[in-house]
Each structure stands twice: as structure tokens, then as C-alpha cells.
Chain A
Amino acid sequence: MKLIFAGILAGLLATTAAKAEDMVFTSWGGTTQEAQTKSWAEPFSAASGIKVLQDGPTDYGKLKAMVDAGSVNWDVVDVEMDFAIKAAKDGLLEPIDFNAVPKADLDPRFTTDHAVGSFYYSFVLAWNKGTVSGEPAGWADMFDVKKYPGKRTFYKWSAPGVIEIALLADGVPADKLYPLDLDRAFKKLDTIKSDIVWWGGGAESQQLIASGEAAFGQLWNGRVFALEKDGADVGVSWNQNLTAADVLVVPKGAKNKDAAMKFLAAASSPTGQAKFAEASGYAPINTKAKAEMPADAVKALPDAHVDGQINLDMNYWAANRDAIAERWYAWQAK
């Protein structure tokens, strides 16, 4: 018995030891993480000799649990920016070492003391051309069940996006969105509640639209881009597209901090950002990246649709995350 335990223990120690020079990158899975692996992790490993292990999906509860327990297995994590702002305040993140990560060319909108932009994206209106006749012009059409019957799919979790969409559809001008009028937003959402199918992850949103299970949806532009690349018959409206960002963070107490900072430098470099943007359809957060991209790839980015584009207010969300979430889930459960 003792021998077996000793054996297992030795085995465990050996694996941990072998992993000491490696680092772990955690993201959301699916086509996005594949693109991150190809564009960042693989070239980075080839250049530095540091092996990047992939984990996922990102789970804020796990991140907090690791930090609280002082046993952090993730070195770089892709998180939503409003979470990053809040998590930095709660002491869950390491400050970024900007000596190791060149800051000059990074878009200041997506760079903080504790986070480097991963990519930025737009929520767009996508639809299945087989099930929808006509071309929905904007968010208001998603609330018009007479003109556009069928199920609508929205992001399930409390996060920047759906509340803003409801308010825009209800006629709130883009520059008057914040502070969010939650009563008005939920009242508007109530009008189509029975027609809503929620998507919890990117792959699910793609499946719902591609199969026609939902006629329309609020999707991440990169997921629509991937659907189009796969030849799915989808339409997309960029009207009032809503930008938000993912950022890369290093959890407090990460075991391979130095490797993590080096990885951040590579991921946010013009080349890393250009490659990822080309593969994913998400916009680069390095201002020099677009110069390295083919012209037609640049056209697919949210930057090509700045007309009427609305920036979701990450700071507002970071400050009001919990209060909104409480109402959001209470409303959903009704």
C-alpha cells in the first residue's frame, strides 16, 4: 500500500517538475482559442522554447479559487475586460510588467495596469438566410416579432451587450445609454422573452444560427466570420455594432510569471495580433498590426464598421457588474 502511494506521489512530483518551465494559457475554447494557439502560442514556443499548455474554458470562479487557495495553475487567462477591471480591484491579478511587454503601440482603450488587450470584437446582428426573409436592418428588428417571426438568440450571461441592445431598440440614443436604465431595458426584453433562446458559449451561438434553430442572434463578429468561412448561409448587419474587448491577465501568484509576461509580449505584438485578427475576424489591439494584414482581412474587422459603432462602457460595467447581474438573473428566472 505504502509503496503504491509513494509511487503515485513520485509520479505527481515528476509531472509537476516537468511542467516547471512550461506555462498554461486559458481561453474560451472553440474557434477563438484555436486561432490564439496558432497565432500566439505555437510561434512563441518555437521562438522561446517555452511550452504553452492550453486549458479552458475560462472560469472566473476557478480563477478566484486558485488565487484564494494560493495554488494558481493558469499563467495567462483570456477574460472579458469588465471582469478584468473588477478582478484587479479585488486583488486577483498580477500587475503587468511593461518592461517585458512593450506598451507604446497598444491601444490605450484596452490596456490597464493589470491587463493587456487580447482582441476586441463587436456584437453584430446575424441571421440565417434560409429562415429569415428580408434583411433585418438593426437591433429594433430583433424586437419586432410580427415583421420578423422566429426565435432570437442572445448571450445568456450578465455581461455588456444585451441590455444596451434592448435600450437601443427602444429608441435610446447611443450617447445616452449610460447609466443604463435597467427598468426600461427589461421592459423591452419582456416583449420578446418567450421568443428568446439563450446561448452560453460561442460554439452554441454558431450552432443555433447555422441550424436555423434561432432565426436571428446577437453574435460575436468572429463567430459569424467563422460561419461565413465555413460556407454557412448567414447574413450580418453591422448597424450599431457594439464593441467590447477581451484582455489577457496574469492571475495573482501565477507560477510562471516571467514566461507569462514574455507570452503577453508576443501575443500583443504587431505580428501576433495581425495573425490572430486574420484567423479570427476579431480586431487587433496593437495599432501597428493592420499594416501586417492582407487588405481583405482588414475589411472583415470591426474597425471597418466604425460608422454607428458603439463602445460598450467597460468601466461602467466593472463598477455595476454585481448589481446588474443580480437583476439580470432574477429577470431570467422569472
Chain B
Amino acid sequence: MAGEVGPPSRDKERDGPVVPLRNPGDAMSVETEQSIATMRMPAGLGGLLPALTLIGLFFVVPVLALLLRSVTDPAPGLQNYAALLGDGTYARVFFNTFLVAAVVTIVTVLVAFPVAWMLAIMPPSLASVMFGIIILSMWTNLLTRTYAWMVLLQRTGVINRALMATGIIDQPLPLINNLTGVTIGMVYIMLPFMILPLVGTLRAIDPMTLRAAALCGASPFQAFRRILLPLSLPGIAAGGLMVFVMSLGYFVTPALLGGTSNMMLAEMIAQLIQSLLNWGLGSAAAFILLIATMALYALQLRLVGARRATGGI
């Protein structure tokens, strides 16, 4: 694993296919690869200073303030954490948060894999166009996209009306205000974050290995299971963990497409802070979420190494 952090020249070989992720427009240009390799050269602490100051001032300090509040508001002690971990409702919200994140991650992997494979084997010019389309969806406002899903999924929405008009169903399907709605909305938003690292990994796989497998008599399924899947696991792990971690903290989509029984942690925190003004409890919940997220990230680093953990991004 230590070998992952190698000299730039090795990076170019290993991470070459990842470069298009940053800039699909000039996917294969050598300059881009080189400029990125240069950027990765250690630039000294001086160059890092503005970024570190920014993170220190606007992330570390508030997080410490959050931690402090969680153990001092309304009185010093761990009562906020005890309340969160000992109460059935909060436990349900925690469980729900992890459940939704897990379901979303699994579905995202299943949907993203074929897309990523197509992108990996497509001619680069066509792939750039496809990348453009995928990236474009990320540029559209999150709230707008979520409202669009509301219009599509609600009982009187486009999907239900079409299905009822064609006689396939006679009662509207419950597609919104439940786990189905949350999953659909979130998978859609998470897809690019899964596809991008996955394409990088898949491109690095030599297509000849598949041909060799076929020549040795492997069925397409065997070739997929024994060759393609194992080789693409780092990409799946990288994308999957990123999607999982991002899903844990999601707010807008579950709030709009889920029901009250699908409440996730972020919504609960907002409620505690905004309507109940229980900042101590809200801070404790936020801190637990942060710890869970960081633990997962640490796990990812251990499992797949720093470079691959971020999918090369």
C-alpha cells in the first residue's frame, strides 16, 4: 500500500486514465497529464499555508466549537451523547441514516457499473461527450433536480399518470415520501461520484485480459466475475465509500422525497438546531456524524490507499 504514494513518473503510468476525470474535454492530452503530475510535486509548506489557514479558520475552529458546545450546552457533561445514544427515536434515525446510505450505495454501484464500462470502452471522442452529459447534471442546482423528481414521482406525477393512463396500474404507486423516493433521488445525484472513479479503474484494465479469458474458454459471465469484477474492485470501493459518506450527511433530498419516518441525521440536526433550539443535542449529533464519516474515511484509506481512496481525484 505504501507504494501507492510513488514518484510522479509512476503516477503517470498508474493514474493516467484517471486524468480525464478532471477535465473530460481534453481527455487524453499529454499536457494535462503532465501539468497534473507537476501539481502533485511537493510545493513546500509555504504553498499550503493559505489552504491550511482557510481550513483551520473555517473548519477546524468551528468543529472544535461544535464539540465544546456538545459537552457544555445546557450543562457541562456528556448528557447530550447519553440522550442521543440512549433514546429509541434517535437510534432509529441513526439506523435509518446508515440504511439509506447503504441502499443508495448499492443501487448506485449497480447502475453506475454498466455506464462506467461503456464509457471505458467507448472511443474517447464519444466518451468525452458522454462525460459532458454526466457532468452537466452535476452543474444543475440540487434543489431544482430534487423538485423535478417530486413532479415526476408524486401520486399525481408524470410517472403515475402515464402508468395509470396505459392501464398498467390502477392505483398510484407510492414512489415518494418513502424510502423508494429517497433512493431514486439520491442515486441520481450520486451517480457521477460513482461513475467517475469507476471509469478510471476500468480504463486501467487491459482489455486483452478479457480476450485472453474468452480464448481460454471463459463465458462472458465468468470473465466478468473472475477478471473484470476483481480488477475493478478498487474503483468500486473508492466510489462506493465516497457515495456512502456523502449520503450520510444528505439533507435536501431525503427531506423532500422521504417521509417523516425516513428522517436522516442531517434533517434531525437541522430540526434540533432550527426549530427546537436544542443546540447542545444538535451539536452532539453533528459530531457523531462527523466521527462516523471520518472513521469510514480512515477505513477507506487503510483498505485501498490514499491515492485510490479518492479515485485519483
Interface residues of A (CB under 8 A from B): 59-62, 64, 151, 156-158, 197-198, 211-213, 322, 325-326, 329-330, 332-334
Asked if A151 contacts B155 (CB within 8 A), the reply is yes
B130 sits at the interface (CB 8 A): no
Contacts of B96 in A (CB 8 A): 333
Asked if A212 contacts B89 (CB within 8 A), the reply is no
Q: Specify the chain B residue showing the minimal Cβ separation from A157.
A: B275
Contacts of A326 in B (CB 8 A): 276
What is the distance, in angstroms, from A166's C-beta to the closest C-beta of chain B?
16
Contacts of B156 in A (CB 8 A): 211-213
Interface magnitude class on chain B? 20 to 34
Contacts of B92 in A (CB 8 A): 333-334
Asked if A334 contacts B261 (CB within 8 A), the reply is yes
> What separation, in Å, do the CA atoms of A158 and B278 have in the docked complex?
14
**Which residues of chain B from 142 to 185 have a CB within 8 Å of any chain A CB?**
154-156, 177
CB pairs A–B below 8 angstroms (6 shown): A151-B155, A157-B275, A212-B156, A329-B89, A329-B268, A333-B93
B219 sits at the interface (CB 8 A): no
Interface 1/0s, chain B 257-291, versus A by CB < 8 A? Answer: 00111010000101101111111000000000000
Asked if B89 contacts A330 (CB within 8 A), the reply is yes
What is the distance, in angstroms, from A254's C-beta to the closest C-beta of chain B?
18
Asked if B274 contacts A59 (CB within 8 A), the reply is yes
Given A198-B260, A211-B154, A330-B88: 18 more A-B contacts, CB < 8 Å? A59-B274, A61-B274, A64-B279, A151-B155, A156-B260, A212-B156, A213-B154, A322-B278, A325-B276, A326-B276, A329-B89, A329-B276, A332-B260, A332-B261, A333-B92, A333-B260, A333-B261, A334-B261
> What separation, in Å, do the CA atoms of A211 and B275 have in the docked complex?
28
Contacts of A158 in B (CB 8 A): 275
> What separation, in Å, do the CA atoms of A329 and B90 have in the docked complex?
10
For the complex, would chain A's binding face be called helix, strand, loop or mixed by DSSP majority? helix
A212-B156, A213-B155, A213-B156 as given contacts; A332 in contact with B274, CB under 8 Å: no
Contacts of B279 in A (CB 8 A): 64
> What separation, in Å, do the CA atoms of A212 and B172 have in the docked complex?
12
What is the distance, in angstroms, from B257's C-beta to the closest C-beta of chain A?
12
Interface residues of B (CB under 8 A from A): 87-89, 92-93, 96, 154-156, 177, 259-261, 263, 268, 270-271, 273-279
Contacts of B278 in A (CB 8 A): 322
Contacts of A157 in B (CB 8 A): 275
What is the distance, in angstroms, from B109's C-beta to the closest C-beta of chain A?
28
Asked if A333 contacts B155 (CB within 8 A), the reply is no
> What separation, in Å, do the CA atoms of A213 and B158 have in the docked complex?
12
Complex A-B, nearest 8 residue pairs according to Cβ-Cβ distance, in ascending order: A61-B274, A332-B260, A330-B89, A61-B273, A333-B263, A213-B156, A213-B154, A211-B156
Q: Specify the chain A residue showing the minimal Cβ separation from B155.
A: A213
Contacts of A212 in B (CB 8 A): 156
Asked if B89 contacts A64 (CB within 8 A), the reply is no
What is the distance, in angstroms, from A170's C-beta to the closest C-beta of chain B?
21
A60 contacts which of B88, B263, B274 (Cβ < 8 Å)?
Answer: B274
Q: Specify the chain A residue showing the minimal Cβ separation from B87.
A: A330
What is the distance, in angstroms, from A203's C-beta to the closest C-beta of chain B?
12
Contacts of B93 in A (CB 8 A): 333
Interface centre among B87, B92, B261 (most CB of A within 10 A): B261
Contacts of B275 in A (CB 8 A): 60-61, 157-158, 325
Contacts of A322 in B (CB 8 A): 276, 278
Contacts of A330 in B (CB 8 A): 87-89
Asked if B263 contacts A332 (CB within 8 A), the reply is yes
> What separation, in Å, do the CA atoms of A79 and B105 have in the docked complex?
40
Contacts of A197 in B (CB 8 A): 177
What is the distance, in angstroms, from B61's C-beta to the closest C-beta of chain A?
14
Asked if A60 contacts B277 (CB within 8 A), the reply is yes
> What separation, in Å, do the CA atoms of A62 and B275 have in the docked complex?
10
> What separation, in Å, do the CA atoms of A151 and B176 have in the docked complex?
13
> What separation, in Å, do the CA atoms of A151 and B171 have in the docked complex?
13
> What separation, in Å, do the CA atoms of A211 and B156 have in the docked complex?
7
What is the distance, in angstroms, from A5's C-beta to the closest C-beta of chain B?
11
What is the distance, in angstroms, from A211's C-beta to the closest C-beta of chain B?
5
> What separation, in Å, do the CA atoms of A15 and B156 have in the docked complex?
46
Interface centre among A64, A212, A326, A329 (most CB of B within 10 A): A329
Interface centre among B92, B93, B274 (most CB of A within 10 A): B274
Contacts of B260 in A (CB 8 A): 156, 198, 332-333
Contacts of B88 in A (CB 8 A): 330
What is the distance, in angstroms, from A157's C-beta to the closest C-beta of chain B?
6
What is the distance, in angstroms, from B255's C-beta to the closest C-beta of chain A?
8
> What separation, in Å, do the CA atoms of A144 and B303 have in the docked complex?
55
What is the distance, in angstroms, from A156's C-beta to the closest C-beta of chain B?
7
